[in-house]
Amino acid sequence: MPHTAIAWVRNARRIAVLTGAGISAESGVPTFRDAQTGYWAQFRPEDMATEAGFRAHPQRVWDWYQHRRDLLAGVSPNAGHLALADFQRRHPDRITLITQNVDGLHQRAGSTGVLCLHGDIFQDRWLDTPRNCCFLDHAVAGHPPYCDRCGNLVRPGVVWFGEPLPLAALEAAQPAARQCDVMLVIGTAGAVYPAAGLAQLARTAGARVVVVNTAPSALDETAHAVLRGAAGTLLPQLLAA
């Protein structure tokens, strides 16, 4: 563990953290494509994660996301998630946690105020703009659930291909990146925008950027330091001071 990176974190007034699939993979969470095994292997990812695919086959897509929810029920936050949550408990005003993950492991570890750029797989929302009759608590059980008055369908609360990121999360993440002294980029390949652009925004604004990853990423050249290894091993050391 480079002492310079530890010193940057220790002295930072504001820290922004961007996490991706790599930190959850350490808990055994399969990636989107890795989860497509067995029966689900016959379907294209684009058909399971687009509005058009859901409208064409709502039961199939709903059951696919229920399958993924069931997979997540058997995993737990790892030492990386717990180190971030512990740091936030000790320094609640110094850290903003931004994630591309939809699995809720940061929240289960105890992190609060997590900015979920790609939504939350355990939350639902209406497919179409809800009318006065649409209440999620009163949706009729089904595959998917629906409003018994207007027929509006319930969909998973994740961001599908071609959809914009949640505006509130993005509008909070951008100033956090712009105003931080250090940005930690953890377990992301850095290939998905606009999330990956947050690291570049932070560097342009003068922050130190530290990448924590088991493999090379597209953001390594943006970083001031690259820590090669598992988040569960490196983050407890980096955030302990």
- For 38-73+124-158, CATH number out of 1.10.1520.10, 3.40.190.10, 3.30.1600.10, 3.10.20.30 equals 3.30.1600.10
**pLDDT score at 41:** 75
**pLDDT score at 66:** 94
List of residues 6+ apart from 17 with CB closer than 8 A: 84, 95, 96, 97, 98, 183, 184, 186
Instruction: Reply yes or no on domain 3-28+76-118+165-239 having CATH 3.40.50.1220.
Output: yes
What is this structure's pTM?
A: 0.93
Q: Among positive and negative, which fits the CA dihedral 57, 59, 64, 66? A: positive
Closest of 238, 241, 240 to residue 185, by C-alpha: 238
**pLDDT score at 3:** 76
Where do the domains of the chain lie? 3-28+76-118+165-239, 38-73+124-158
Give the Cα separation of 89 and 131 in Å (integer).
40
**pLDDT score at 36:** 61
**pLDDT score at 32:** 64
Q: Which of 3, 81, 106, 118 is catalytic?
A: 118
**pLDDT score at 186:** 98
- Give, for all 241 residues of the chain, the pLDDT tens digit: 577 999 999 999 999 999 999 999 999 987 766 666 667 677 887 788 999 999 999 999 999 999 999 989 889 999 999 999 999 999 999 999 999 999 999 999 999 999 999 999 999 999 999 999 999 999 999 999 999 999 999 999 999 999 999 999 999 999 999 999 999 999 999 888 898 899 999 999 999 999 999 999 999 999 999 999 999 999 999 999 6
Give the Cα separation of 158 and 65 in Å (integer).
10
Q: Is 118 a catalytic residue?
A: yes
Give the Cα separation of 98 and 106 in Å (integer).
10
